[in-house]
Amino acid sequence: MNEITNTCANNDTALQRYRELQEKYRNHYAQAPARFLAAWKEAIRLAGPQFFYCDGIGHYADATDRNKIRPNQEAIERFMAVCSVGEGVFLAAVCSFYNGNWGQELGQRFGYTTLGDIANRLELEQLNVLSALMLYHTGW
């Protein structure tokens, strides 16, 4: 009888842990869009607002939807020809959240395509914003 009681208690504990984990995921993904948008705006501030379109808004900081502030591919492509490696790697990493293939192509121009390569090339503030983008990205 004691073995059955222990098994039931273990099952209840496992079920409780599962429910807590499910709640943690629900909370994370419920908050993800707003947190991604905040990180996206910070990435734009660091990379340069001139590299992003503002669709129907006066300033990127006023956006309430990430789709209102998208990368300006033409401006970014021109900048990549003259920017420093650090600037290019950061901008490529940011753009990869919008379009993974394009971001990878941009990063390859500087020889930085893996997370380790990117991490070794960027400043702490840039790494923090990329970490937030990664944590809250749910697809474009």
User: What pLDDT does residue 10 have?
Assistant: 76
pLDDT digits (tens, 9 = 90+) for 61-74: 999 999 999 999 99
Give the Cβ contact number of residue 116 at 10 Å: 9
Report the length, in residues, of the chain. Answer: 140
User: What pLDDT does residue 1 have?
Assistant: 57
Is 24 within a domain?
no
Cβ(88)–Cβ(80) below 8 Å: yes
pLDDT digits (tens, 9 = 90+) for 33-50: 999 999 999 999 999 999
Is 21 within a domain?
no
User: What pLDDT does residue 32 have?
Assistant: 97
Asked whether the CA dihedral 89, 114, 30, 56 is positive or negative, the reply is positive
- Domain region containing 92: 32-136
Average pLDDT over every residue of 96-111? 94
Cβ(127)–Cβ(119) below 8 Å: yes
Is 44 within a domain?
yes
How large a percentage of the chain has pLDDT more than 90?
A: 81
Pairwise CA distance, residues 27 & 77, whole Å: 38
Is 87 within a domain?
yes
pTM of the predicted model, to two decimals? 0.86
Is 60 within a domain?
yes
Is 15 within a domain?
no
The pLDDT-based confidence of 105 (bands split at 50, 70, 90) is: very high
Number of domain units in the chain? 1
Is 8 within a domain?
no
Across 2-16, 23-37, 111-125, least confident range? 2-16
Is 108 within a domain?
yes
